[in-house]
Amino acid sequence: MTHETPSRRGALKCLAYGSAGTAFALSGGVFTTFDLAEGAVPKHATPLFVQVSDSHIGFAKDANPDVAGTFRNAIDLVNAIPKRPAFVMHTGDITHLSKPEEFDTAAEIMKGLRVAEIHTVPGEHDTIDTTGQGYFERYGAASGGKGYYSFDSGGVHFVALVNVLNFKPGGLGGLGADQLTWLEADLAGRSASQPIVVFAHMPLWTIYAPWGWGTGDSDQAMSYLRRFGSVTVLNGHIHQIVQKVEGNITFHTARATAYPQPVAGMADGPGPLKVPSDQLAAMLGVTSVTAVRHARAIALDDRTLASA
C-alpha cells in the first residue's frame, strides 16, 4: 500500500530581492529569514519564477514621481539573477488608472524582461472601468477571456486567480461562484504531493478588513487547497511584505515596484506612503521563488520527561 505524505522535497523557497532584501526559505512549513547581503542564497537553486507586482504605471505623485523608472529597475534586478527563471508573474496593478497608454508603457517596459514567459493577473487598478476591457484585450488570451487559469512548470502546478472583479460594496475582494467551481475542478484528482502556487492580486487571507485587505470568499478556495503538502499563496496589493504559515499553506505578499503603503491601520487609509527618496528603493522589490529539490535532513529529537 502506498502511503502518500505531503512532500517536503517540494517545499518552496521564496527569495525577496530588494536593495535591502530579505530572503525567505520555506522548509517544511517553517520560515527562516536571512539577508541577501549574507550571501546565503544556495548556488544550486534556480529560481522557478519571479513575482513582480504593483507597477502602477501612470502614477506620478510625490510618493514616486518615476514609477516607470523603478519598474525598469525591478526588471534589471530580475535580469541580474544568475540563473534565468522560467517565467515572471505580474500580480496586478500593472497600471494606475487602466488607461490604454498606461498599458502600452507597461508592456513596453516588460519587453525588457529576459524570460521566456510573462504571466499576469489583474489588480483593481487594471479594471477600474469594472469590465476590465483594457486588461483583457492585452492579457485575456491566456484564459479565454476569463482572467483565471492554471499551468504547470517545473513540476509545480500554478493557479492564477482574479479577485478584483467580484467586489461587494462595503466588503473585500471576491472570487465568485464560477471561479470557485473552476478551481475545485482544476485541483481535483491532483496528487497531494504536487506543489501548488496560487497567484491573485488582493491577499487571499484577511490582513485588514477596514482597508479591504482580504478576499471575502477565500476560505472556500483554501478548503480545496488544504489537502496539498505544499501550497504557496502569493499576492500583491498592499505594497509590503506580510506573511503567515497556516498548516501547509504559506501566504506571502510582495513589495510593489511603484511605492510603499502604510502598515495596516497606521494611517487614515491605504494610500501611497511618502518616504525620504533615499529610502524608497529599499521598500520596493520583487520576489523570486525557488523549488527545493534535494532531500532535506530531518532532525528528530525525542525527549522523555526525565531528561529535563
Site for other proteins, rule CB under 8 A: 61-63, 96-98, 124-125, 128-130, 167-173, 209-212, 268-272
Q: Among residues 58 and 85, whose Cβ is nearest to other proteins?
A: 58
All three cell numbers of 94:
500593472
**Shortest spacing between CB 208 and other proteins, in angstroms:** 10
Instruction: For residue 276, give the amino acid letter.
Output: P
Q: Number of helices (H) and strands (E), helices first, in the chain?
A: 6, 13
Q: What is the rounded end-to-end Cα distance, in angstroms, of the chain?
A: 39
**Shortest spacing between CB 270 and other proteins, in angstroms:** 7
With CA atoms as reference, report the closest residue to 16 among 31, 4, 1: 31
**Shortest spacing between CB 202 and other proteins, in angstroms:** 10
Handedness of CA 35, 41, 47, 48 (dihedral sign): negative
Q: Among residues 128 and 281, whose Cβ is nearest to other proteins?
A: 128
Q: Among residues 274 and 293, whose Cβ is nearest to other proteins?
A: 274
Alpha carbon of residue 210 to chain centroid = 22
Distance from C-alpha of 262 to C-alpha of 283, rounded to nearest angstrom: 11
Sheet of 196-199: strands edge to edge?
A: 149-153, 156-160, 196-199, 231-235, 249-253, 243-246
**Shortest spacing between CB 70 and other proteins, in angstroms:** 17
SS3 (DSSP) at 250? strand
Strand segments, DSSP code E, in 173-281 are: 196-199, 231-235, 243-246, 249-253
Q: Among residues 14 and 175, whose Cβ is nearest to other proteins?
A: 175
Q: Among residues 82 and 210, whose Cβ is nearest to other proteins?
A: 210
Alpha carbon of residue 222 to chain centroid = 16
**Shortest spacing between CB 252 and other proteins, in angstroms:** 23
Q: Among residues 144 and 210, whose Cβ is nearest to other proteins?
A: 210
Distance from C-alpha of 41 to C-alpha of 27, rounded to nearest angstrom: 14
Residue 65's alpha-carbon distances to 56, 105, 248, 257, 273, in angstroms, are 11, 15, 40, 12, 13
Q: Among residues 232 and 253, whose Cβ is nearest to other proteins?
A: 253
**Shortest spacing between CB 20 and other proteins, in angstroms:** 25
Residue by residue, DSSP assigns 19-31 as TT-EEEEEETTEE
**Shortest spacing between CB 97 and other proteins, in angstroms:** 4
**Shortest spacing between CB 170 and other proteins, in angstroms:** 5
Instruction: For residue 283, give the amino acid letter.
Output: M
Q: Among residues 171 and 176, whose Cβ is nearest to other proteins?
A: 171
72 close to 109: Cβ distance less than 8 angstroms: yes
Strand segments, DSSP code E, in 97-202 are: 117-120, 149-153, 156-160, 196-199
Q: Among residues 13 and 125, whose Cβ is nearest to other proteins?
A: 125
**Shortest spacing between CB 282 and other proteins, in angstroms:** 21
